[in-house]
Amino acid sequence: MISFNIRCANEHVFEAWFNNSTAYEEQSAAGAVACPICGDSTVEKAPMAPRVNMGTSRPSATNAPPVAAIREMITEIHRHVSENTEDVGENFAEEVRRIHYGEAEERGIRGEASDDEVQELEEENIDVYRLPTLPRSDA
């Protein structure tokens, strides 16, 4: 196993473990490596210091909160969004456009959109936000 510091496009740095360097390259290229803070899958290796075994255990220096805290924050975000928005399911892109162009009542909505739909919305200057997913427990 090998550990890499990974940085997403939003500058969040996190540690991830892989079977080998090739596994990282394959998973990254497939978009399977996602930031546990924001869910962004546009990632790259971040600079990291080599780990030298000095024979004694030392706490590792990292600016990332513990996984349990991240999981709790993301769970709270999902709860808040669920309680304060309307689920429009697969009609998200269509409904957010209707709201944006004044064809539907302005309100908070949530739903599902493909990567292509999100890109089209961004090209129309319609702000959308993808909720972060929970970090995998087997990562």
For residue range 34-64, what is the model confidence (pLDDT) as tens digits?
988 888 999 998 877 666 566 665 555 556 7
pTM for the structure as a whole: 0.50
- Please say whether the dihedral angle defined by the alpha carbons of residues 58, 52, 13 and 6, taken in this order, is positive or negative: negative
41 neighbors 31 (Cβ within 8 angstroms): yes
135 is a domain residue: no
Among the residue ranges 9-13, 47-51, 76-80, 89-93, the one predicted with the least confidence is: 47-51
10 is a domain residue: yes
What is the domain range of residue 6? 2-45
**Gap between the Cα atoms of 127 and 67, Å rounded:** 29
Structural domain total, the chain: 2
| 73 and 118 belong to one structural domain | yes
50 is a domain residue: no
**Gap between the Cα atoms of 82 and 108, Å rounded:** 10
87 is a domain residue: yes
| 84 and 119 belong to one structural domain | yes
18 is a domain residue: yes
95 neighbors 111 (Cβ within 8 angstroms): yes
| 80 and 39 belong to one structural domain | no
Helices 92-100 and 115-123 pack at an angle, to 10 degrees, of 10
